[in-house]
Homo-oligomer: A and B are copies of this chain.
Amino acid sequence: MSYRHPGRDQIRIEDVLSALGNRLRLDAVRVLDAGGEHNCTSVLNVLGVTAKSTMTHHWRVLRDSGVIWQHPSGRENMLTLRREDLDARYPGLLDAILTGATTDAAQTPS
């Protein structure tokens, strides 16, 4: 089994924004931004999500919007942030979003 992904030119900004307009998905992308390939379980552990099934939908949204690569490896799913594609297509967008997420996280909830 392998997943379908949009090509770089098929990515649409409203899909990227919608995909990242969710706290859990945004946090997952912050974890993936450390670079390289991550297995699904390790990301869930960092996020404190115990049920793998919770994330199945979220990985699909991130994958379909062109934000991540996802491919199965044995019984695991391997995940990679498509930073090169996103930076090429929307310069500065991902950095502005990740910096913004850090700004929010540093602020005591009002």
Structural contact, A17 and B97, CB atoms closer than 8 A? yes
Dominant secondary structure of chain A at its interface with chain B: helix
Q: Which residue of B lies closest to A6 (CB)?
A: B110
A55-104 contacts to B, CB under 8 A, are 89-93, 95-97, 99-101, 103-104
- By a beta-carbon cutoff of 8 Å, the part of chain A in contact with chain B is 9-10, 12-23, 26, 89-93, 95-97, 99-101, 103-104, 107, 110
A92 CB to closest chain B CB (Å) equals: 4
Structural contact, B97 and A95, CB atoms closer than 8 A? no
Structural contact, A104 and B13, CB atoms closer than 8 A? yes
Pick from B10, B16, B26: contact of A13, CB below 8 A. B26
A58 CB to closest chain B CB (Å) equals: 13
Please report the C-alpha to C-alpha distance between residue A45 and residue B83 in the assembled complex, in whole angstroms. Answer: 37
A25 CB to closest chain B CB (Å) equals: 8
